[in-house]
Amino acid sequence: MSGGAEGRLRVAIVGTGVAGAATGFALARRGAAVTFVEAGLAGRATAAGAGIIQPWSSSAGGDFYRLYAAAADYYPELVERLAEAGVRDTGYHRAGALVVNRDRAVIDAAEERIASRAAEAATIGEVRRIGAAEARELFPPLADGFDALHLSGGARVDGRRLREALLAGAQAHGAELIEGTAALTESGGVEVEGRAVPADAVVVAAGAWTDLLLAPLGARVGVEPQRGQLVHLRVEGVETRDWPSVHPVAPHYLVAFDGGRVVAGATRETGSGFDARETADGLRQVLADALAVAPGLADATVIETRVGLRPLADGDEPVFGPVEGHAGLFVNAGFGAAGLTMGPLVGDLLARRVLDA
């Protein structure tokens, strides 16, 4: 693909969640002239996501799992690349993970699944079967009676800090950011509130809004919003930085951050549309699930609630690559609940495809 007047490929990226920011960082550090466009819509998934990096106990298989696991293993490289760009606050931290359940057979199955994957998982660390007492030492609010697995390589990332780090890294390589609402033109270009953005290629990384942007071109990749509600708690007087994330072999989870913060999540409300409200029933569900696993959080302070509209793909895998029938137009979307894990690696993979096109 040819570049602009200076010989650099000009790429416009619509959306600065983890998918767009990672793609832009990967392109900019390889020499492309990157322009980000961000509309600042309510319900952006990256700003709400809990950021657990622990794919190995997932029941997913096939290509989805292989990408999921490879993405977790990519994080140390990403941190190194950002450090080379002068960015060191990435929000990424390895504090371990606990897979817990009261049914020993469920943990037996999880242990067998993890063991079959461990040899190819570079960042999984040590995997140990532990009892309820040790599990509570690692995560003190946990209920008694759980059988558990401890994965020392489990990690978490603060999506907001990661996004800022990726944007800062891209800007260190000359990227620019425009705030405003983007529209695709019939020729495959981008306009922001009527003003053309010079670009040789366009990447649509607009999360749940991706198909809305593509619609005027008659294109569709099959992504819909799925609402996820989360509750942020603070455990007073306790440093929780090194508490592991907690996975009850269910859609809900607990993940600890610095300063006593523990995130409880999350609902998976398929069919929500672009409704980014917090609802009474959603918050009831999140808190009920959290306290069933960790009743020691009952006295924690509710400090914040967040809502994200996950980009849920029609198929089983995220959608990234060229848009058929539209030269120079690419898409990066459809990660569902796995965006903060998969986004950085997929952004890097897509950057290579854009440059090679």
Tell me, what's the pLDDT at 316? Answer: 77
Q: What is the CATH number of domain 10-356?
A: 3.50.50.60
Tell me, what's the pLDDT at 4? Answer: 56
Tell me, what's the pLDDT at 44? Answer: 94
Give, as one character, the DSSP assignment of residue 116.
Answer: H
Tell me, what's the pLDDT at 150? Answer: 98
Q: pLDDT by residue for the chain (357 residues), tens digit each? A: 656 546 799 999 999 999 999 999 999 999 999 999 999 999 999 999 989 999 999 999 899 999 999 999 999 999 999 999 999 999 999 999 999 999 999 999 999 999 999 999 999 999 999 999 999 999 999 999 999 999 999 999 999 999 999 999 999 999 999 999 999 998 878 999 889 999 999 999 999 999 999 999 999 999 999 999 999 999 999 999 999 999 999 889 999 999 999 999 999 999 999 999 999 999 999 999 999 999 999 999 999 999 999 999 998 789 999 999 999 999 999 999 999 999 999 999 999 999 998
- How far is it, in rounded angstroms, from Cα 77 to Cα 75? 5
Tell me, what's the pLDDT at 3? Answer: 66
Residue 63 sits at φ, ψ, to 5 deg, of -65, -35
- Count other Cβ atoms within 10 Å, centred on residue 190: 24
Tell me, what's the pLDDT at 336? Answer: 92
Closest by Cα among 45, 109, 287, 84 to 172: 84
Tell me, what's the pLDDT at 5? Answer: 46
Give the up-direction half-sphere exposure of residue 287: CA atoms within 13 A in the CB hemisphere: 17
Please report, to the nearest 10 degrees, the dihedral formed by the alpha carbons of residues 321, 325, 326, 329 taken in order. 0
| Start-to-end C-alpha separation, the chain | 5
* Residues in the chain, overall count: 357
DSSP output for 301-353: EEEEEEEEEEEEESSSS-EEEEPTT-TTEEEEE--GGGHHHHHHHHHHHHHHH
Write down the domain spans for the chain. 10-356
